[in-house]
Amino acid sequence: MKNMDFEALVLDTLIQYLFLLAGGGALALAAMGPFAVLVFIPVICAVFLICLLSPQEVHRQTFCFQMSWQTLCHLGLHYTEYYLQELPSTRFCLALSSLMLLTQRVTSLSLDICEGKLAAASGGTRSRSSLSEHLCKALPYFSYLLFFPALLGGPLCSFQRFQARVQGPSNLCPRHPFRALTWRGLQILGLECLKVVMRAVVRAGAGLTDCRQLQCIYVMWSTAGLFKLTYYSHWILDDSLLRAAGFGSEFGQSPGEDGYIPDADIWTLETTHRISLFARKWNQSTARWLRRLVFQHSRVWPLLQTFAFSAWWHGLHPGQVFGFLCWAVMVEADYLIHTFAKLFIRSWPMKLLYRTLTWAHTQLIIAYIMLAVEVRSLSSLWLLCNSYNSVFPMVYCILLLLLAKRKHTFN
């Protein structure tokens, strides 16, 4: 009787893996069309490497292949935009976006294997097992890399969480799902209404090409506000879909694993006066992935390496390279400025004034970085750099140079 129950459980688990895999494949074909092959090829190669290589080798090899493949695809986008000067296909852009998310899952999985958090899958391809046994061992990896709730968006879901949800009781549901999803639906509705208002404001005003002097600051702030509202709305929608599918915070958290973190923490992002805190809270799951993948393994200039890799992962557009490197410098300056302020600002009125000024300055610097990252042409980037908006990051650069000499006294 126990054997029959165990076999039924195994069969049910396999069916769930196949369902998630088939759903991901169908969604990829429907959304990306023939460009879905750009996602399918690295999935097959990644699973092959995971099943073939030893735990010590698997992360380095999968990382190199995945980033090389993604870079080639981004170069195709560069060729279309900058050389041919044509608009890229929407399906191709969706494939690139999905490929970037796939890179997160592949490297997260390979790091878990390399760090011993997951049992190594290597050795299976060298054994004399049948083809069906090989495929059964590889099925969870295929399903994880292509499962449809996270194919086109959403916070990074670890393999442990994914596996725990699939292998857990099928009748287990999140607590208060209707209330939580209703609240998120209202948030999305409110953000979309704000987007309509902000889009009208941006269209009614002058652009970077037409603005003059201080007017450019207002143009930068309003345009960046529209970008942020778009990101917030998408992140909440992606998080809702992932939770509705059962991969939220209620499932699969192992003792050594960080808890589930949604990408959007709007209150913190809009109220913080620290650029470093904004960097940690902006797209939180990606920030945590970058910290684990790059920052914690870098011995020299870890902050600069992390932001440089982020520019590479995003596609190495000129604005992205400039924006992410500028962001790294701003974070470094932020650490020094606020450490200095803690030593010399004592009274409550001065603390309130300091927090107000640094909040406004932080929001304007973030708006500057966001516009730099989002613009696609060198001419638009030059207009941004040549405007009054460049005063705000320049102030932090000057303070960084002045305070860096006294850094040893802050420690």
Question: Active-site residue numbers?
Answer: 283, 314
CA dist list (Å): 6 to 2, 10, 12, 164: 6, 6, 10, 16
What's the token pair of residue 294?
């790059």
Integer Cα distance of 18 and 169 in angstroms = 17
Integer Cα distance of 69 and 395 in angstroms = 39
Nearest by Cα to 202 from 181, 185, 227, 237:
227
What's the token pair of residue 367?
């708006």
Nearest by Cα to 56 from 124, 140, 122, 141:
122
Q: Which helix (H) or strand (E) holds 71?
A: helix 55-78
Which residue's entry shows tokens 């000024």? 357
Integer Cα distance of 33 and 94 in angstroms = 10
Integer Cα distance of 408 and 411 in angstroms = 6
User: Quick one: angle between helices 348-374 and 318-344, nearest 10?
Assistant: 170
Residue 203 is which amino acid?
R
Residue 338 is which amino acid?
H
